[in-house]
Amino acid sequence: MLTFSDRVIKIALAIPKGRVTTYGRIARAAGAGPMASQSITNILGKAHMAGVKNIPFHRIVYADGKVWINDEYKKKRFALYKKEGIKLDKNNRIVNFRDVLFEFK
Mean pLDDT by 10 residues, the chain (105 residues): 96 98 97 93 97 97 94 93 97 96 94
pLDDT value at position 62? 96
What would the CATH number be for the domain defined by 4-100? 1.10.10.10
pLDDT value at position 73? 87
Report the C-alpha dihedral over residues 39, 42, 43, 49, rounded to 10 degrees. 180
